[in-house]
Chain A
């Protein structure tokens, strides 16, 4: 099966570890991701304003790119891109007037008609492949690895774009269970990491990071697993500082779910680019005999 794929900006740089491990894993599971030609930034944050059609141009233009390839579905890996593209599609689909305004404004493009389904990689794994088929392909079960799935905001809110239950999601835990890991439930799994406040109020993000990380540690998780590159940066980059301010804190690796998927499928660890993880997960993975240099 071949699916259209929208990468977004961060996956091409800081989160190359998320992208490469995801593409390689899907290939091993029989799905080829075809990157869209001429994609542009989705705008990152969806505009909540009722009078800002201008901010919907970037995401809608990407959906037009999908249409041009003859596809009616696009896969995203970054949680923010998922949220922004999915919400833009819903907005124009439910508002023919806004759709018309946007199409008229972009007269150089073909018209968007709400005909592209935006999905997140986790949904592809659950709905197109299925947990059982994934388990069958596991070469290196993640036995003994205690992971805390952390969902953050953009995969779950608002309700109409949620990939799972808004308050009690299990999708990432189900995947990790299928890979053989032990799941650690923790109360901060769906709480915000502070998001873009990192650029204006980094100290408040430190506080958020501490609440989330220390909760996972108290629950005895070996690692936190997530999907969002902004959560990854906020929870990862803050750890050095938090080890200073909280001497009992020894740090906790943060991994993309796709990195663990690639490892469990027995793929070359090169595709995981562990060098890009803010806290090196290799000693942990080695101690569980899941990884060798």
Chain B
């Protein structure tokens, strides 16, 4: 009998131990958030969040420092949005092809191939952008160098592609067969079925794929650090009098700023603290994007 109670205690200890470990994930997330907040706090207090979010002069180590991060927010949003404009249609097409059109043999090769793209280290993608795409961009568009937002957009769209494909493909594949059969029975052809029945039925998964792709694009560092030029500017152009982002200018993203300045910033300085503000902005972006994706994907359960 004591033997049994020993076993029972042991069981209890194991379960509790496993729970504690699992709960560490929550602790880690809170730790990251809390740490970003406390380290960012001095700068927020000194400079004001408003200046960070709307100011355009970023010169934290100058004698007359500026902490406006809007230039980088602009840069990040510009390349991430641009990348999605490319990778959403591209990714959806690949997902549709894999789940609806490809012969079984092709699918078996295609899926792992696209997933392999996700394994490519971002620094390698950046390197390819640097040595292959950038010179081509410079030549083709007659620029002095090819390190532009456009170059970043293209490389970034390749990086966001696997995320979009794999989630969208799951969503499309889980559309019930009956929907498709009903559509064919009504005389729709394959294209109509895909566009008007399958995609709408899979829309929550597709939306989630897009959100997560956006999160991936906003958070990407190395590729953009290497190919987007890192200029602290907000390139614009006028089309029919309308100011629009100029993708053939250089931009610097939030992520690149941390990577560039984080290495030799004096710990504890206002500059150091302001980098955590940028980290906080990034964290908030991706946290919100993930949350929305989560909510969209589980809408039925709520």
A and B interact physically: no
